[in-house]
Structures are given as structure tokens and as C-alpha cells.
Amino acid sequence: MIRLLPGLTNNNTIKILITNVEYFVTMITVWVIAFLFMLIFQMDASSKYAINHLSDCSSILWPGIMAGIIWGGIFKLVELFRPRIPLYSMSIVASILINIVSAYLIIYVMYQWEHLLPLGQFPHEDVDLKTFYNSYLFLAVLAYFFVVGTLIEVFMRVARKFGQGVLRKLLMGRYYKPKEEERIFLFMDLKSSTYYAEKLGHFRYSKLIQDCFRDLSYAVRKNNARIYQYVGDEVVLTWKVKQGVRRWQCIQLYFDFVDTLNKRQDYYQKHYGMVPIFKAGVHAGKVMVAEVGELKTEIAYHGDAINTAARIQCLCNPYNTRLLISGDLLEKLKSVDNNCTEFAFLERVLLTGKEVPTEIYKWNNFSRVDGERCHVPGSDRS
């Protein structure tokens, strides 16, 4: 595996720890709020709702912590196995069952640890567990916990659909008016994609792309990238410049992805008869960021920088290489480490639609990369 800056190695363990802490803090916060509403609108003995427990609000912290840890832990564990579920309908059934089991477990722990986790007067009377399970109170609390857990899961799925941090920015209206930002863009797509699409057929080719982009997740998380778009067999990633040049994350991501593909080469050879190779183009510059669309809303980037990155990526085949960057980006990388001997100058290229030539550099030492294990004769078409 290539590590571009050995002196600035990425402490993945600390990053994973911080991510998990943030995740559980979010879960605990949500469940504390859920218990607050449960306490305020708690059922009395006559099964009527009443706002009469505000004086007990201090008792919601420990139950919230307990529920956040239980539900968050179970959900995180299930997410590790969810990609192995063959059918989406089975995934939905699994989510429902997991939420029911989690709700049962939260209620059971609250019942058993009643003195440690007091919540108003829950349960309202001193009854044995079997009697409690047959009560309307149990069914009401179970339904409430199930709804809360389901809403959390739905919200997390929607947030993941938009991408990390995007939903929060949309809700806050951060880009309601266009703003200028300096960003790095990395365009990456499958080499010889036309050849493999014809060879594998539409279904197996689509499965190949699914597997590749699933394997990309580790490199994206490790290098703090944001996935902007998937377009066919191409993915567009972006960073703010300061974050992208830090530890050369905008370049390191490519090699981390290559490393992941190589580690799974037996899987790809078995299922597709090839090991996928991706080519990439990277550029940095100013773009406008804006919230666009009414029927479908998203955060979009407009400007010369994103167009330049796309056209640099298109030059990989003519220059017979897999990684090209612009001179503008190289200058920013030198601000972190001036020893850029791995990149070799190619030439100044007048890209389509531009009036000023762009300096193009290629990665000069692919012998250090284990990715070139599969070359299909006649497959140099893209």
C-alpha cells in the first residue's frame, strides 16, 4: 500500500474512535429528547395523556443514555451485515424486527433497573414482568419506542442518501444563496468500461459497479472526502482545499481505493473474471455552490474547476496513465510537502472550452502500485 507522506501517517484508530463517539452522542441526544416527550405526555392510570410530569425532567438523562447505547449499538452491528442481505424486502423486514427487539430490550432494562433508571413513575405500579408485558402500558411504550427507532433509522438513511453533512446544510439553508468556495475535485471512472460492459452484460456490469463503489467507502471515510455524484461508472469526490491537501488526502484516496480493490482481487476474478482498474483526474479551483432544484433538491457545484477536473480525467487514456493532476493542485500540495518527485510534468494542454493552457502532471511510479494485474488485450477502449 502506498502512503504518500510517511511522516504524516493518518491515525485511523483515533478517527474511527471519534466517529463512533459522535455517533453515540447523537443517538443518546435523540433518545433523551424522545424520553422527554414520553415523560411530558406520559399515560396516567386512566390511559389519558396529561402534561403533568415536567418536574421529573431531570430523570430522563440516564434512560436516554441507556437507550442510545442499546439502540445505537444494535443498529451499528446490523449495518455491518446489511450488505450481505440479498433482497431489499428482506432488509426492510430485518429493520422492523431489529427495531422491535431493540424496543423490547430497552423496556426490559428499564424494568429491571427501575431504581437506577427512574422515568417519572414508569412502570406505574409494582407488577411482575409477565403482568407488565400483558398490560396496555407495555404495548403503548413498545409502540412509542418502535416509532422512535424507526424514525431515527429513516432519518439516517435519508442523510446517507444526500451524503455526509449535506442534509444538515440543506435544512440550515447554508447554500440557499450561491456561495464561492475553493475546492478540490477528483473524477474517477472505470478503465475499459465499454469493453467490460459488453463482456459482462448489463446485469453483471451493474453488480460490478455496485461492488466497486461499495469498496470505495473505506477510502472515502479515511480521507474525509465527500461524494458529490455517481454518474454511470464514474464517481466525483470533493474536498475543501485545506482539508484535501492535508496529508495529500485528495491523492491518497486513490491509492487507498486501489489497495482495497487489490485485496479483493480474488473476489473480482471469481465473479467478473477481472480486477477493476480506475483512472482519475484531480484539480483545485474556485466554484460556486448553490442549492438547486424544486422537485428534487441538491447542493450543486458550478464553475471552471469542476469542468477542468473532468477534462483532465479524460486525458488518462491518451497519456496511457491512471492518475493525472493539474499544476494548480500540485502547487497546493507542495505547501504541505515540497518533495513532489512522484509527479512528472507532461505538458501544457489547452483543454476544451479554456483559453489558457493547463499544466498536466502524471503519477510517475505505478510500479509501487499492485493494481496492474489485469490487462485484457484489446480492452483499451473507455
Q: Where is the domain boundary, 162, 191, 206?
A: 162
Q: Where is the domain boundary, 162, 179, 197?
A: 162
CATH number of the domain that 248 lies in?
A: 3.30.70.1230
Whole-number pLDDT of residue 369: 54
Q: Where is the domain boundary, 118, 136, 162?
A: 162
Distance CA 294, CA 61 (A): 40
> Is 64 found in the same domain as 209?
no
Render each residue's pLDDT in the chain as its tens digit; 382 residues.
556 654 444 456 777 787 788 888 888 998 888 888 877 766 444 444 444 454 455 567 878 888 889 888 888 888 777 767 777 777 788 888 888 888 888 888 877 776 655 555 555 555 666 777 777 777 888 888 888 888 888 888 777 776 666 667 667 766 678 889 899 999 999 998 999 999 999 999 999 999 999 999 989 988 989 999 999 899 999 999 999 998 899 999 999 999 999 999 999 999 999 999 999 999 999 999 888 877 777 788 898 999 999 999 999 999 999 999 999 999 999 888 776 777 888 888 888 877 788 899 998 766 555 444 333 333 344 4
User: What predicted TM-score, i.e. pTM, was given to this entire model?
Assistant: 0.74
> Is 88 found in the same domain as 210?
no
> Is 149 found in the same domain as 229?
no
Q: Examine residue 220 and state whether it is found in any structural domain, yes or no.
A: yes
Distance CA 186, CA 172 (A): 27
> Is 203 found in the same domain as 107?
no
Whole-number pLDDT of residue 136: 78
Distance CA 106, CA 63 (A): 9
Q: What's the domain range around 139?
A: 6-162
> Is 338 found in the same domain as 216?
yes
| Residue with the three cell numbers 465527500 | 226
The total number of structural domains that make up the chain: 2
Whole-number pLDDT of residue 284: 94
All residues at 6 or more sequence positions from 284 whose CB lies less than 8 Å from its CB, including other chains: 182, 183, 184, 185, 241, 244, 250, 305, 326, 328, 329, 332
> Is 129 found in the same domain as 220?
no
